[in-house]
Amino acid sequence: MSRIGKLPISIPKGVTVNVSDKNVVTVNGPLGTLSQMMDPAITLELQNSDILLKRGTEQKRHKALHGLYRSLLNNMVIGVSTGYKVVQELVGVGYKAVNTEQLLELTLGYSHNIIIELPAEIKVQTTAERGKNPTIILQSIDKQLIGHVAAKIRSLRKPEPYKGKGIKFENEILRRKAGKSATAK
């Protein structure tokens, strides 16, 4: 029983869903177009303004794919209608982020600056206000791509548990550790 796979996907106004003969689903919306290849075991039904996914058999693999493709299609519909946004903070003295077009230059306490070329599908913006931590704002219609890029940026300097220095997601709660405690003898 796939609880996620059985849920219908509601299609907002301005979004169209097309299925080709080769099991490629294309979702068009006001922000762009996304496409996904689907397994032949999963069938797609369009009813009014909803999408329903059905599986052919009760095999374990087909049950897993049922929920997977429902989640992927739902992410595509949300992406082309509203889009996704990821905000990351740089916590640490001297940590900076500067972008020029699709190049992101990071100063993270290493002996050199790190330059990352971002995909064209991602819009990047950096802010550095006085008294606040520098931030990196990523926007895209593709949830998989934006998550991958955000994780790649975070892996350059993960937050450490003692002072919390590093690259963290906005509103992320870090588990902090107590440092060494001096004992009197």
Listed range (1-5, 42-46, 97-101, 179-183) with the worst mean pLDDT: 1-5
Confidence band (pLDDT; 50, 70, 90) for 22? confident
| Average pLDDT for 47-66 | 86
Q: What is the CATH number of domain 84-169?
A: 3.90.930.12
Of all residues in the chain, the percent with pLDDT exceeding 70 is 97
**So what's the pLDDT on residue 2?**
58
Domain residue ranges of the chain, discontinuous segments joined by +: 3-81, 84-169
Give the C-alpha distances (Å, rounded to integers) separating 134 from 106, 126, 151, 170, 180: 10, 7, 17, 11, 29
109 neighbors 78 (Cβ within 8 angstroms): no
The predicted pLDDT at position 30 comes to 92
Helix residue ranges per DSSP H, the chain: 3-6, 60-81, 143-154
CA 104 – CA 102 distance, rounded (Å): 7
The CA distances from residue 133 to 36, 123, 144, 152, in Å, are 37, 20, 26, 20
> How many CA atoms lie less than 13 Å away from 93 in the CB half-sphere?
1
SS3 37: strand
CATH superfamily entry for domain 3-81: Ribosomal protein L6 (3.90.930.12)
Q: Which range (23-37, 44-58, 141-155) has the least confidence? A: 44-58
